[in-house]
Amino acid sequence: MKKILVAMSGGVDSAVTALLLQEQGFEVGGATMLLQPCGLAEAEGAKLSAAHMGIDFYLLDRQAEFRRAVIEPFKTVYRQGGTPNPCIFCNKALKFGAFLDEALRLGYDGIATGHYARVREENGRYLLCTAEDKTKDQTYMLYHLSQEQLGRVKFPMGEMTKEQARAKALDAKLPAAKKSDSQDICFIPDGDYLSFLIRDGLVPQTGRFLGPKGEDLGPHKGLEAYTMGQRRGLDVAYGERIYVVGKQGTDVLLGSNEDLMRSRVFVEDVNFIPFDSLTAPIRGQAKLRYTPTAAPCTIYPAKGGVILEFDAPQRAVTPGQAAVFYDGGLVLGGGTISSKDEDTL
């Protein structure tokens, strides 16, 4: 690849990504996808960084696609009682879907992002590997990438630490050098997802709290307001600590911490990276949420997905979240945690 279009968010990681590729001799351009009106400020920051490096810059309006591919599925999963990860929706449909398509249309050979991850080619297949800086590794968000996408993407940040990236940005006097990292869902900056859902037209599904023995513990404020393992904000008088342990129709099930532990997890909509499909059980590790550590497990092929059998029970397994499978630093693949019960292997 000679020409690379960098997805620039206005932050330091994507700006350093463009700088590194420029130093490596690539013909670099920068682009920001406008996903919502408030994103114009970030786009302006990205434009300043691009101008500082003397590279072409494009503003791509993808607000309609963002609503269709991210916000609407986000609402749907909540309506179904799950807890979605909208960043994965966005990466799949927009950052590595529509963005790559636009880059190719503009005459670029591939794209780059500021994600902390690595890609290597082995025996004619592209592999996704964890970043050098394990505390910043973002492969959990990238398990869905296809061979075509992996063959056309570069992740320069995968070889750096955050401290090294910040230092390089400061040395190069990049406008984004001192910008702080974003932590929240981009379209819910205050973190109050329930208020967002209501403002966006969702009517909370009311029901009852059901206790460990099925007893009625009173009404709740809406199915969408609760997630697995939640203890705070329940407003239920009970003689011991009690947690959200499941959902049944529009009712929210409450129980003990022990009720949250599960050893078997059914995962659907699975994508594998080193191979096309799983035909026999394999050993590996899996993450059930965006954390630095993965837990040892056996991965079994199953109808419609895979079953994870963990060596030790896992807490608060949450339908709608991603389960991502690893073999050490190699990403095997991943999928979506299902609310379905799977009793047979």
Q: Which residues are catalytic?
A: 90, 186
Query: Rounded to an integer, what distance in angstroms lies between the CA atom of residue 87 and that of residue 113?
Result: 14
The distance of Cα 66 from the centroid of its chain, to the nearest Å, equals 15
The three-class DSSP label of residue 254 is strand
Structural contact between residues 265 and 314, judged by C-beta atoms closer than 8 angstroms? yes
Query: Rounded to an integer, what distance in angstroms lies between the CA atom of residue 59 and that of residue 81?
Result: 36
Query: Rounded to an integer, what distance in angstroms lies between the CA atom of residue 324 and that of residue 321?
Result: 10
Among 119, 116, 107, smallest CA distance to 153 is for: 119
DSSP β-bridge partners for residue 266? 307
Query: What is the greatest pairwise CA distance in the chain?
Result: 67
Q: How far apart are the first and last CA of the chain?
A: 44
DSSP β-bridge partners for residue 310? 297
Query: Rounded to an integer, what distance in angstroms lies between the CA atom of residue 297 and that of residue 260?
Result: 18
Q: Give, for 202, the enclosing helix (H) or strand (E).
A: none
Which residues fall within 8 angstroms of residue 62, CB to CB, at 6 or more apart?
Answer: 33, 34, 35, 94, 98
Structural contact between residues 176 and 165, judged by C-beta atoms closer than 8 angstroms? no
